Amino acid sequence: MTPMSERLIMHDAPLFNTLAVIGPGLIGSSILRRAQQTQTLARRLIAIDHSPNVIERVRHLGIADHATSSLINGVKEADFVILCIPTGAVASVAKHIIPHMKASSILSDVASVRHSLAQQIVPHLSRDISFVPAHPMAGTEYSGPDAGFSTLFENRWCLLIPPEGTQPAAITRVEQFWQQCGAKTRQVDEQYHDQICAMVSHLPHLLAFTICDTADRLSSDLRSDVLEYAASGFRDFTRIAASDPIMWRDIFLANQDILLQTLERFQNETNKMAEAIRTNNTEEIIDRIKRGRHIRQGLIANQQN
Amino acid sequence: MTPMSERLIMHDAPLFNTLAVIGPGLIGSSILRRAQQTQTLARRLIAIDHSPNVIERVRHLGIADHATSSLINGVKEADFVILCIPTGAVASVAKHIIPHMKASSILSDVASVRHSLAQQIVPHLSRDISFVPAHPMAGTEYSGPDAGFSTLFENRWCLLIPPEGTQPAAITRVEQFWQQCGAKTRQVDEQYHDQICAMVSHLPHLLAFTICDTADRLSSDLRSDVLEYAASGFRDFTRIAASDPIMWRDIFLANQDILLQTLERFQNETNKMAEAIRTNNTEEIIDRIKRGRHIRQGLIANQQN
């Protein structure tokens, strides 16, 4: 049972004094909107981005108290800094800002691939700064500060991947932060995280980009008819192929090994399905369709539909 | 300009006296619902199915004037008969009913693969019966008489694939039928139809079934977590994998050659993407993602989003 005094503090005071979001895109701007709406996450909101256009949009949208292109000025007063930038940039930006962060502050990121990230960042931590990465499993195919919304994380999972030896108090605060964003939280290890994400997110994106690419390489009359008749499966299937190219290049590269292994499993199953079709093996085709359908029905039962 | 008398007939009298729908599933029951709602398609609606459960559901839903399990009794008074049954059953059921159909009536089906179907059916036509197949490019992942709804075809394409030598008047009536169902119509040839559908529908379904199947073969803890975290792409991507197994087995087999060719193109592109990831070829990855994204954006521009 939490003592009454602590419970009062949790409810009355924001979790952090100053929150700095580096990269107020879809995820970052959704965090800012949520913080603004609930007033329980932080007293003061800072948005940091290297792009003047993004800074201008953030100011126009009014979703931060201060918007700046200076990493160092932006982070120096924050007690919680979240990197919401492409996976490939996380380690270098983290190393760059750590020396300028407040003592005892918390650093986090939302990268979709964890492989070796903690390893690259933890040795650079100093002055009691904690690194508590968290990956919210939420998103849309849109990007940029205009794409965010305060309910993006509602009922979604947010996986915490704290490196070994992280202060439990820091983990708890980041967990509370995401719960107040509406998310369900769970701690997992790096390797398991990357396996799960390869299957539920990275492989589907790779396939969606590639089937669109395959369509793009068709003769021009066929291609325009594909667009015309896309309602029959292609449309839903390819929605995620509108996602940001740099973000996805970084994810594919960062999760290279596990993604390629997952792809290989998928290709083996695809080859077996193709062989069953080629040899008119009706039972095998039905069996494969039913197995697939079974998982899909599990999803519906999980109310993820 | 259509003469006034004809225009009045078009608007005042239903297109057909008696419409028989064989297989009142998702598509068939949607046609019946539309006919009931508009009153312009047919005076009398007959539903035919071999399954007593389906007959019972049709009676309960009240979407036909008469529901029967007898093919021969069901079709004998109809001037328009539509087969809404799995692709693999179309030719044999067509051959079975043609001798019992009214002279000068029209036979149609809604099969998603046209390869060799007309060839198997046309030689059996007699007594001025016309065969005018039409493929409505509409559907959901649900099946059965309860899954249909009257607006299913609204603003969707319906491709007409009349065999050479079909009476133009019969083609026109079937075209009007589908237009009154809310669909946009276009005539195409069998081969082109099957190429388009392989890309926009059959390949996406094959991949969706297979990625679900791949997930189903994971170790049980990983599999249950895939279901848990499916929001990140997997969910939308696999919606179509809930579709009917028999229907899809038949489609895969009927469109075997073109589907396997289309799959091969897709696999070649997938292998190139995998190679780009394996060799850290960032430019190639970006190029491939952008090409895919470009097609997806074309879809949005086509207002198919």
Sequence ranges of the domains in chain A? 4-188, 192-301
Contacts of B243 in chain A (CB under 8 A): 293
Q: Which residues share a beta bridge with B134?
A: B160
- Assess whether pLDDT exceeds 70 at residue A83: yes
User: Each residue of A182-211: pLDDT tens digit?
Assistant: 999 999 999 999 999 999 999 999 999 999
Which CATH fold would you assign to the domain A192-301? 6-phosphogluconate dehydrogenase C-terminal fold (1.10.3660)
Residue listed under structure tokens 């007690």: A79
pLDDT of residue A303: 53
Mean pLDDT of A13-38: 96
pLDDT of residue A166: 95
pLDDT of residue B6: 46
B157-160 β-sheet, strand order:
B134-136, B157-160, B184-187
Contact B216 A252 (CB under 8 A): no
Closest approach of A150 to chain B, Cα-based (Å)? 17
Distance spanning both ends of chain B, measured CA to CA: 36
Contacts 24+ apart (CB under 8 A), B45-51: B45/B18, B45/B19, B45/B21, B46/B18, B46/B19, B46/B20, B46/B21, B46/B74, B46/B75, B46/B77, B46/B78, B47/B20, B47/B21, B47/B74, B48/B20, B48/B21, B48/B22, B48/B23, B48/B24, B48/B74, B48/B75, B49/B22, B49/B23, B49/B24
- The least confident of A143-147, A219-223, B80-84, B229-233 is B229-233
Q: How far apart are CA B209 and CA A296, in angstroms?
A: 9
- The least confident of A139-148, B21-30, B148-157 is A139-148
- The answer to whether B45 touches B39, Cβ cutoff 8 Å, is no
Please indicate if any CB of chain A lies within 8 Å of the CB of B265.
yes
The backbone torsions φ and ψ at residue B17, rounded to the nearest 5 degrees and listed phi first, read: -75, -55
pLDDT of residue A232: 62
Contact A226 B295 (CB under 8 A): yes
Q: How far apart are CA A24 and CA A181, in angstroms?
A: 16
Distance spanning both ends of chain A, measured CA to CA: 36
Q: How far apart are CA A200 and CA B229, in angstroms?
A: 7
Nearest Cβ partner for B249 among A204, A223, A285 = A285
pLDDT class of A26 with cuts at 50, 70, 90: very high
Nearest Cβ partner for B249 among A195, A274, A286 = A286
- Assess whether pLDDT exceeds 70 at residue B155: yes
Alpha helices for chain B (secondary structure H): 4-12, 26-38, 52-61, 71-75, 87-97, 117-121, 168-180, 190-197, 203-216, 220-228, 234-237, 245-254, 256-278, 282-301
Structure tokens belonging to residue B277 = 């990831």
Who's near B277: CB < 8 A, 6+ residues apart? A252, A253, A256, A259, A260, B285
- Assess whether pLDDT exceeds 80 at residue B210: yes
Nearest Cβ partner for A245 among B238, B265, B290 = B290
Closest Cα partner for A200 from A214, A216, A188? A188
pLDDT of residue A11: 53
Residues A148-167 as b or e (16 or more Cβ within 10 Å = b): bebebbeebbbbbbbbeebe
Nearest Cβ partner for A212 among B227, B233, B295 = B295
- The answer to whether A201 touches A87, Cβ cutoff 8 Å, is no
User: Each residue of A54-70: pLDDT tens digit?
Assistant: 999 999 999 999 999 99
Q: How far apart are CA B149 and CA B239, in angstroms?
A: 19
Contact A302 B227 (CB under 8 A): yes
pLDDT class of A217 with cuts at 50, 70, 90: confident
- Assess whether pLDDT exceeds 90 at residue B149: yes
Q: Express as a percent the part of chain B with pLDDT over 70.
A: 93
- Assess whether pLDDT exceeds 90 at residue A220: no
- The least confident of A11-15, A44-48, A174-178 is A11-15
Q: How far apart are CA A21 and CA B82, in angstroms?
A: 59
Mean pLDDT of B244-272: 94
SS3 at position B158: strand
- The least confident of A268-277, B236-245, B292-301 is B292-301
Q: Which residues share a beta bridge with A184?
A: A157
Supply the DSSP symbol for B136: E
Tell me how crowded residue B134 is: count the other CB atoms within 10 A of its CB.
23
Residues B242-273 as b or e (16 or more Cβ within 10 Å = b): bbbbbbbbbbbbbbbebbbebbebbbebbeeb
pLDDT of residue B12: 63
Please indicate if any CB of chain B lies within 8 Å of the CB of A211.
yes
pLDDT of residue B180: 96
- Assess whether pLDDT exceeds 70 at residue A9: no
Q: How far apart are CA A197 and CA A204, in angstroms?
A: 10
Q: How far apart are CA B139 and CA A31, in angstroms?
A: 37
Q: Are strands A157-160 and A184-187 parallel, antiparallel or unpaired?
A: parallel
User: Each residue of A122-135: pLDDT tens digit?
Assistant: 999 999 999 999 99
- Assess whether pLDDT exceeds 90 at residue B216: no
pLDDT of residue B124: 95
- Assess whether pLDDT exceeds 90 at residue A79: yes
Contact B233 A260 (CB under 8 A): no
Contact A249 B285 (CB under 8 A): yes
Q: How many CB pairs under 8 A join A and B?
A: 304
ipTM of the complex: 0.83
Name which residue leads in pLDDT, B234 or B103: B103
Widest Cα–Cα separation across chain B = 71
- Assess whether pLDDT exceeds 90 at residue B139: no
- Assess whether pLDDT exceeds 80 at residue B191: yes
Q: How far apart are CA A269 and CA A57, in angstroms?
A: 46
Please indicate if any CB of chain A lies within 8 Å of the CB of B223.
yes
Kindly report the pTM of this predicted structure: 0.83
The nearest alpha carbon in chain B to A159 belongs to B229
Residue of A143, A160, A217, A296 to mutate, testing the B interface (most B Cβ within 10 Å of its Cβ)? A296
Contact A230 B266 (CB under 8 A): no
User: Each residue of A230-260: pLDDT tens digit?
Assistant: 866 787 777 788 888 898 999 999 999 999 9
Q: How far apart are CA B120 and CA B83, in angstroms?
A: 15
Angle, nearest 10°, between helix axes B203-216 and B245-254?
130
Please indicate if any CB of chain B lies within 8 Å of the CB of A233.
yes
- Assess whether pLDDT exceeds 50 at residue A4: no
- The answer to whether A200 touches B233, Cβ cutoff 8 Å, is yes
Q: How far apart are CA A16 and CA A85, in angstroms?
A: 21
The nearest alpha carbon in chain B to A287 belongs to B245
pLDDT class of B128 with cuts at 50, 70, 90: very high
Tell me how crowded residue B59 is: count the other CB atoms within 10 A of its CB.
14
Mean pLDDT of chain A: 90
Mean pLDDT of chain B: 90
- Assess whether pLDDT exceeds 60 at residue A100: yes
Tell me how crowded residue B60 is: count the other CB atoms within 10 A of its CB.
11
pLDDT of residue B3: 45
The backbone torsions φ and ψ at residue B187, rounded to the nearest 5 degrees and listed phi first, read: -95, 135
Class of domain B4-188: alpha beta
